Amino acid sequence: MKLNSVVTKLYAFLNKISQNKLFKKQARETSAPMPRKSHVVSKSKQKSNLRRVLEPIAFVLAGILCFSYPVCSTLWNNHVSKEISTAYDKYNHDQAGDVRRAHIRAAKRYNATRKDMLTRDPYGGDGQEDITNTPGYKRYLKALEEPMGIIGIVKIPKIGVKLPIYHGTKEDTLARGAGHLYGTDLPVGGKNRHTVITAHTGLANATMFDSLTELKKGDYFYLDVQGETLRYKVFRINVVDPHDISLLQREKGRDLATLLTCTPYGVNSHRLLVTGYRVLPDPVAAPEDHVQWPLWMTLFVIAMIFSAAILAMMIAVVAGKKRRKWDIRGKHILWVGRGEIKLRAK
């Protein structure tokens, strides 16, 4: 009886030692904060979370790129126009003086003998007959004809304009620069002469005459033709009905030039006329212009900076949330592991 009791106690003692060894082994295995299967995030869930993070960021970036197009294309086209104008200046200065003077004399003869007078708005589609196929227009195209197709350069230093001037006011012509209004004098100066140079306002991809409204009486603009620079001082600014061409006619004894564009901006229901009279002596060259940076472009750049700041904040918030989420998950897993140890210890 005593032997059986001793054996039973010995068996119980050995069993207890075995359980204690097993417990210590399990404690060592569970002491590290290793997550259980229920806490492991699947790869598909991770991809889903990544997609939710990247989609709004990609959307904001796409918006910034799309809305940046007008500014970038405008700056590029302005640069191209100035490069073309510079190339024209160089071409004329490289020509022989006799050739340039011959072109000027021919243009002045054209002005003295021309019979075609201005009778319509250059931007109007009022059903008037097409004048581009008439003999007078073909004669007009030969005046100041150059290989580059440019008859001169209009420069307005105050607002940063430097545009090539082409014959006529066709739509494809005005998409490339300024146009000389057919029916007015060629831009070579002289008494009883009035030349009209026109360009668009409100194009999505070029500035052109957008800032013409900033000119005031007393400001200067310049016309470069065949290596000669003609200087004009603004003395009259008018807004007229598109069919009112009375202010574009010759005025006795005066040498005039008018810059014409549509107004108001984006509406184009009227015409803005900025007229200057010739100031002698002619300067050797027009002064350097300012960078053409209209108000809408400044506001747009501010909006882009604001959007970029919002994007940076979004990225920072998302990254912060993700970091805190993994910190909390790690602490929870460690607490659960230790809790299991305590439960099993009991």
Query: Which residues are marked as active site?
Result: 200, 262
DSSP label at 182? B
DSSP label at 39? G
CA distance readout (Å), 279 to 180, 197, 310: 21, 18, 53
Assess contact for 271 and 315: CB atoms under 8 A: no
Q: How far apart are CA 118 and CA 132, in angstroms?
A: 14
For 238, what's the count of Cα atoms within 13 Å in the CB-facing half-sphere?
A: 14
Q: How far apart are CA 116 and CA 154, in angstroms?
A: 23
Q: Which residues pair with 193 in a beta bridge?
A: 255
Query: Could you give the 3-state DSSP secondary structure of residue 54?
Result: helix
Nearest to 74 by CA among 329, 293, 279: 293
> What backbone phi and psi angles, to 5 degrees, belong to 273?
-115, 120
Both tokens of 148, joined, read 């580059």
Assess contact for 187 and 229: CB atoms under 8 A: no
Cβ-based neighbour number of residue 261 at 10 Å: 24
Q: How far apart are CA 62 and CA 55, in angstroms?
A: 10
Nearest to 318 by CA among 39, 60, 64: 60
Alpha helices, DSSP H only, in 126-250? 135-142, 171-174
Contacts of residue 111, Cβ cutoff 8 Å, sequence gap at least 6:
185, 186, 188, 190, 193
Task: Find where tokens 């501010």 sit.
Answer: 302
DSSP label at 216? -
Q: Which residues pair with 263 in a beta bridge?
A: 270
